[in-house]
Amino acid sequence: MRMTTDDVLERVLARLEALEGENRAIRAELARLRSPLEAPRERTDTGLSRRRALLTLGGAVAGAAALGRGLADPAPALAGTDGDLALGSVSNSAASPTGLAVSGHSAAYGIGVTDNGLGQYPPEADPAAVFGHSGGQNFYAGVVGYSSTGGIGVEGISHPRSDGGQAAGVSGLGSPGVYGASNTNGPGVRGLGVPGVEALNPTGTVGGVAVHATVSGFYSLIDGPHPATGTGIVAEVIDGGGGAPASASVALLATNEGAGAGVQASSATGTPVIARVTGGGSKETAIKGFGTSRGRGGQFSGGAAQIRLMPAGAVPSSGQTGDLFVDSAGSLHYCKAGGSTATWVKLA
């Protein structure tokens, strides 16, 4: 029977998989044979290896506790024996998940990787199951989560602690502490918890930023420019199966305890702020401003006009006291007495 192209490709792929398996077995055996030869050299070292080890993140939990959250002296890794991960190999594979159960109550970390060593676990960091260190030599990010199929790169889930405190789903220390980028319609960073994502800028530097969200366009040599079209920050309060959110819920809360602004928005040529009511009755308001007992609820300035009221049909029969309405003819009306049959006064 004559073989088709698909049959040939299938046989070639099967052979390649078999050769890859043989290659992994050979590398593992070489690593096993090499370990006894290298051990005496390490034991007769003048102490340099020992000093370097103190600056290398390891997996000895007891050592971490003894060093007071310092980075533990690592035990030698068993490379490639009995299914262990082979260090220095990018071909490790497994058909089942690999897990590490850390017992006790004093471990600073579960699994850690450092960039050319680190003398101490960051004292400002919470104990972490996975710790990644960037020293700017090998790595420029401590932890990167990447999804090539439109999934979530990094997801942080936090449940309330038994002592009533708050625990972060995702915690990042750096500049920025947490950086999320998405090449799809998915989120760059997603956190579920109390809070889901918390960003702090405790340095007090001028212009410090707690959260920085950027949607960037790019230029391709193949098909030219790709302007940015996404959204920097999405804040949602949703049903989630529990019914419509309560009236006290807030999608985005910004607080400034000083003389600065709670929210500042700017746009080169577009609209800095767009507020829209998508449901509800006639009393719903897209934007509300509240001033102090002596302050103003809103203030507007502009070279073309301080404010514009968009013309909209005829004056409605109902209204609320204080309403201003511009009809389709351009006349301005003021609601002097609100109600289902409101009293409107034509001003201009």
Q: pLDDT of 79-100, one tens digit each? A: 444 567 787 788 888 788 888 8
pLDDT at res. 182: 65
Tell me the pLDDT band of 113, cut-offs 50, 70 and 90.
Answer: very high
Helix, strand or coil for residue 221?
Answer: coil
Per the domain annotation, does 171 fall within a domain?
Answer: no
Confidence check: pLDDT of 34 > 70: no
Q: What is the DSSP string of 64-124?
A: HHHTTSBPPPPPPP--SSTTPPPTT-S----SS-------SS--SEEEEE-SS--SB--TT
pLDDT at res. 307: 95
* Cα–Cα–Cα angle for 308, 251, 175, rounded to 5 degrees: 105
Higher pLDDT, 35 or 182: 182
Which tens digit of pLDDT belongs to each residue from 231-243? 878 888 888 888 9
Mean pLDDT score, 27-42: 58
Q: What are phi and psi of 8, to 5 degrees?
A: -65, -45
- Listed residue (228, 210, 206) closest to 219, CA to CA: 228
- Listed residue (216, 215, 174, 166) closest to 191, CA to CA: 166
Tell me the pLDDT band of 319, cut-offs 50, 70 and 90.
Answer: very high
For residue 339, give the DSSP letter.
B
Per the domain annotation, does 157 fall within a domain?
Answer: no
pLDDT at res. 332: 97
Confidence check: pLDDT of 47 > 70: no
Contact predicate 83/96, CB 8 Å: no
Per the domain annotation, does 284 fall within a domain?
Answer: no
Mean pLDDT score, 280-289: 80
Strands 332-337 and 343-346: antiparallel
Per the domain annotation, does 48 fall within a domain?
Answer: yes
pLDDT at res. 46: 38
Per the domain annotation, does 71 fall within a domain?
Answer: yes
Per the domain annotation, does 293 fall within a domain?
Answer: no
Per the domain annotation, does 83 fall within a domain?
Answer: yes
Confidence check: pLDDT of 325 > 90: yes
Confidence check: pLDDT of 39 > 90: no
Q: What are phi and psi of 21, to 5 degrees?
A: -65, -40
For residue 168, give every residue at least 6 positions away whose Cβ sits within 8 Å of its Cβ, in sequence order, or none.
126, 156, 158, 191, 193, 195, 197, 198
Higher pLDDT, 151 or 105: 105
Mean pLDDT score, 247-260: 88
Per the domain annotation, does 232 fall within a domain?
Answer: no
Q: What mean pLDDT, rounded, does the chain reach?
A: 77
Confidence check: pLDDT of 67 > 50: no
Tell me the pLDDT band of 212, cut-offs 50, 70 and 90.
Answer: confident
Confidence check: pLDDT of 65 > 60: no
And the tokens for 301? 């300035």
Q: Which of 111-125, 160-174, 323-337 has the lowest mean pLDDT?
A: 160-174
Which tens digit of pLDDT belongs to each residue from 133-162? 988 899 988 888 877 776 777 777 777 667
Tell me the pLDDT band of 78, cut-offs 50, 70 and 90.
Answer: very low
User: What residues make up the domain containing 112?
Assistant: 1-89+102-146
Helix, strand or coil for residue 199?
Answer: coil
Domain count, the chain: 2
pLDDT at res. 42: 40
Mean pLDDT score, 170-187: 70
Q: Which of 19-23, 59-63, 157-161 has the lowest mean pLDDT?
A: 59-63
pTM above 0.75, yes or no: no
